[in-house]
A and B are shown apart, each in its own frame.
Chain A
Amino acid sequence: MSGIISRGFRGRRRSAETEGRLPPGQYLTTDFPVLSAGPTPRTPLDQWDFHIVGEVEGEQRWSWDEFQTLPRETFTVDIHCVTRWSKLDTTWTGVSLDTLLEAVEYDADYITAFCDGGYTTNLPLEEVTGGRAWVVDTFEGQPLAPEHGGPARLLVPHLYFWKSAKWVRGIELTDSNIPGFWESLGYHNHGDPWLEERYWDD
């Protein structure tokens, strides 16, 4: 079904500036909305660490200080939330998942990111390698604020933003694609904004 005309509705057309950069059904925002299912966890940096576990040889753990010594990248990307806002030209600094995965030998096809607060999200490994995913701790040159996922969050900008798990503490490599938190609650298992993969049956 489409095209039931809403009597008298005009709406707001997209500007030429955003054409081609806003996925279908998204609108531009300039603020940075906060969306979380529960309270914001606050883990002190001296208790923070990041793990790679699961189908790996030699599970890996970095303390906060060790994580800071890893090679870092600064990059500018657009982000798209399933609740329909998009934010353009956001700049982040963090460690590529390629760099993190170099530390282990693994045989897996998927990852589950796990987080303070119990949140999880699942991703195909091929979607988080090849320079497409990072663990970031810096937004626009400043330490990432807790409500936006600080001290560190996953960033996978080519998928809907719920895949960019806040307060990330590690990844588990898995053989099968195990639905995470929102993926078990009606949201899409993959989440490509350009294909509008919002809900489970899209």
Chain B
Amino acid sequence: MVLSETPVRLGWRLATVAETRRESASAATLVFDIPNWPGHRAGQHVDVRLTAEDGYSATRSYSISSPPEEPRVAITVETLPDGEVSPYLAEDVLVGDQIEVRGPIGGYFVWEAAMGGPLLLIGGGSGIAPLMAMLRHHRAAGSDVPVRLVYSVRTPDDALFTGELDELAASNSAVEVIRTYTRSAPSGWTGHTRRIDEGLLREVAFEADLKPLVYVCGPTALVETIAGLLVEQGHDPARVRTERFGPTGTP
């Protein structure tokens, strides 16, 4: 596990909101113009700082969902119940607002096309955000690495990026998207309808013999369960990278 990266200056930058996109009832994407953005790698995150009129400020981390190839930087934010920062970002921010960001941060939960594969992405809920950056990077880089996304969500309304994921899978035979709906599925759904357990994982994951690079992101219980099962099923722990999403943020 010897790694290093060339650090970039990480001071606060002033981002301007160029676009907002509603992704679900509780999640939105904010697209930022950030002058002199040093670039990022798929999977990294940024710190976002909000400041009230009296000077009080609050900072949280959010995964970047846009690929390095795009000039603008997008984050995808899910409103957390009782959240201090996420409701403001997901519901109140308007195009033209200015927000302070710092990054990119995190050098381990990253995938670059040159790292190869096969690439297995396993996401729960809004934990798909950094995996989306990897899928978009895969497309933008013209990678032919086989990639499989396994996405666990409660209901179709909670599923993010549905149209884009379907389009990615339809347009590239190297990309597979497998969803499981843990509470209610779309009408006529014949796919998976339960949490990712031992049997489901064995069915949908690349076999350990193929030595996939695996990225797991979501709530702690999902990440702990799946990472443990992957090791039990013969995957090299050094090729399984994890990131936790939840009320207490990343990484």
Contacts and interface: CB of A to CB of B under 8 A. Distances in A.
A202 B59 CA distance: 15
B237 A186 contact: no
A119 B1 CA distance: 7
A199 B88 CA distance: 25
Contacts of A83: 61, 248-251
Given A11-B84, A118-B238, A4 B14 contact: yes
B35 to A, nearest CB: 12
Contacts of A37: 108-109, 241-242, 251
A29 B244 CA distance: 16
Given A35-B244, A39-B242, A83-B248, A2 B5 contact: no
B58 to A, nearest CB: 5
Contacts of A184: 2-5, 107
Given A25-B59, A186-B105, A201 B3 contact: no
Overall SS of chain A's interface: loop
Contact of A200 (B10, B57, B98, B106): B10
B83 to A, nearest CB: 10
Interface in B217-237: 220, 223-224, 227-228, 230-231, 237
A118 B10 contact: no
Interface string A33-76: 11111111110000000000000000000000000000000000
A40 B248 contact: no
A1 interface: yes
Interface string A156-169: 00000000000000
B7 interface: yes
Interface string A91-119: 00000000000000000000000000111
B242 A11 contact: no
A199 B105 contact: yes
A70 to B, nearest CB: 29
A5 interface: yes
A39 B238 CA distance: 8
> What bracket does the count of chain B residues touching chain A fall in?
35 or more
A3 B53 CA distance: 8
B63 to A, nearest CB: 12
Contact of A34 (B2, B12, B84, B224): B224
Given A12-B58, A31-B248, A39-B230, A201 B11 contact: yes
Contact of A1 (B14, B50, B97, B231): B14
A136 B94 CA distance: 48
A174 to B, nearest CB: 16
B11 A33 contact: no
B105 A84 contact: no
A181 interface: yes
Interface of B: 1-5, 7, 9-14, 50-53, 55-61, 84, 88, 92, 94, 97-100, 102, 105-109, 220, 223-224, 227-228, 230-231, 237-238, 240-242, 244, 246-251
Closest CB pairs A-B (n = 5) = A185-B107, A118-B1, A39-B227, A33-B248, A6-B50
Given A6-B50, A184-B5, A185-B3, 6 more contacts: A4-B98, A6-B88, A33-B246, A39-B242, A186-B106, A201-B10
Interface of A: 1-13, 25, 27, 29, 31, 33-42, 81, 83-85, 117-120, 147, 179, 181, 184-186, 199-202
